[in-house]
Homo-oligomer: A and B are copies of this chain.
Amino acid sequence: MTSRPDTAGEPGDGVLPSDTAATDDPVVAALRQALPDRVVTDPEVLAACTADRSGHRAEAPPLAVVEAREVADVQQTCRIASAHGTPIVTRAAGTGLAGGAIAGGGEIVLSTRAMDRIQEISPADRLAVVEPGILNGDLNRALAAHDLWWAPDPASRDISTVGGNIAMNAGGLLCAKYGVTREAVLALTVVLADGRVIETGHRTVKGVSGYDLCALLIGSEGTLGVIVEATLRLEPLPEGPPTTIGAFFDSVDAAARAAAAITAGGHRIALMELMDEPTLAAVAAQADQDLLSRGRAHLLVQCDGPGAATLAESVVAVLTEHGGDVETASDEQRAAELLALRRAALPALEAQGTLLVEDIAVPRSRLAETFAAIRELEAAHGVTIPTTCHAGDGNLHPTFVVDGEEVPAEVWAAAEALFAHALAVGGTLTGEHGIGLLKRAWLPDELGAEQLQLQRGIKAVFDPQGLLNPGKVFAREEA
């Protein structure tokens, strides 16, 4: 998939001339000398770093990958890169959806994927201390032995890392009840661009000493520092299995109104996922099931913790009142089948072509009109936009299915109109995927000139040479 014209021509886009003899590059030579067994220049490894799961790809490969195993490796890499003025792209699993960890010509990839140790699990303080490269799923499997879990739960949990979550302030399915990643991180150890180390945040629940740099670093997409250790706030595992409810509706409008009514009613559901008709059609085609005769939209709700059964009864009443054909799972097997329906959405769409997954969020009262706007955009631009939605928190993933590598102009036009809609109803360009390369052109529309200037000022305080993930989040400033 090619970049939009206005995002090309910068490091990270990979259109800078690449060093074809990377091992001769003085920065690579210096890295090899300092970290002999950590530097990789295998062309296949370098090529893999030019892409993530956004569909975007840099045109030229990076100079080298440093596979850090210790904090000292990260510091050394940053010192050498600073001395040479070479950009650093921090990367772990490469599962990002906005191009935030894509590396191109002239850049060094600093991989923290191999830093995947759990340093401490403390049930007494309800926290864990981990390295950034651990997979979310692996962490939660280790925590389950202590009846604990880390609540951030992106759909990618089995392939994405904790460090990536934090760099992105990832969301997921459970945010309405359990919050986003920012709420689940107590402290961070971070290597600055020049190799110095800072410790931000607290091991305590409360702490108000100075500015909250921990919160600032969460979601900074690798542009302010390299996260090398995280202290995570844990939750006790909810007792017993959750209650799972599925409901088909005649229209996405009815499903969206039902979802909004659950929020407005103050029901503290754990998860609420909406699929529209084009998504259901894709799932039906893939599974060879006749879903559309049951309804044109589907809502999946889970209630957990104390009082889950009582809460579920209230939820069923609201869904029924809004015309839902409602089923409460009778056992864990049936609950798993209902969840599987939702999990089938992305694979079913991927079977149809290359995906451009958008990520707007809107106030929860505006869900129904946002689905109406998506249907209007489909008609106006001659495209189909299957949309899944974390309806509990108002985060939608309108998805464009593209043939081949080129994104047609009408898709960009529809995406741009979608962003404008989100901002117009008090929403945001990105609920959980981040800005990365893909959305930086629209960031000024959301932030405004004054705030953008402050954000660039903060970037300059942390990274005066502009070496950390340049061109991500912010477009390069005009000379």
Contacts and interface: CB of A to CB of B under 8 A. Distances in A.
Interface of A: 122-127, 147-148, 168-169, 171, 175-176, 179-180, 182-183, 192, 196-200, 202-213, 215-216, 218-220, 224, 236-237, 260, 263-264, 266-268, 305-308, 310-311, 361-365, 390, 392-395, 426-435, 439, 443, 446-448, 450-452, 454-455, 457-462, 473
Nearest to A171: B206
Nearest to A394: B204
Contact of A306 (B215, B219, B311, B435): B311
A123 B431 contact: no
A197 to B, nearest CB: 7
How many copies of the chain does the oligomer comprise? 2
27 contacts: A123-B264, A125-B263, A125-B363, A127-B363, A171-B208, A175-B205, A203-B427, A204-B394, A204-B395, A205-B393, A206-B390, A206-B428, A209-B429, A209-B447, A210-B446, A210-B451, A211-B224, A211-B458, A212-B215, A212-B216, A213-B455, A236-B268, A305-B307, A306-B306, A306-B311, A457-B461, A458-B458
A196 B180 CA distance: 30
**Among A200, A211, A433: residue with most chain B CB under 10 A:** A211
**Among A237, A392, A431, A443: residue with most chain B CB under 10 A:** A431
Contacts of A458: 211, 458, 461
B454 A198 contact: yes
A365 B122 contact: yes
Closest 10 CB pairs of A and B: A306-B307, A236-B266, A457-B461, A215-B215, A205-B393, A124-B365, A206-B431, A207-B428, A203-B426, A204-B361
A170 to B, nearest CB: 8
Nearest to A432: B206
Contact of A209 (B126, B236, B267, B430): B430
B430 A148 contact: no
A428 B204 contact: yes
A471 to B, nearest CB: 15
A306 B311 CA distance: 9
Contacts of A427: 202-204, 207
A266 B433 CA distance: 31
Contact of A205 (B220, B305, B361): B361
A123 B433 CA distance: 27
A208 B127 CA distance: 24
Contacts of A213: 216, 451, 454-455
A203 B363 contact: yes
Nearest to A224: B211
A403 to B, nearest CB: 30
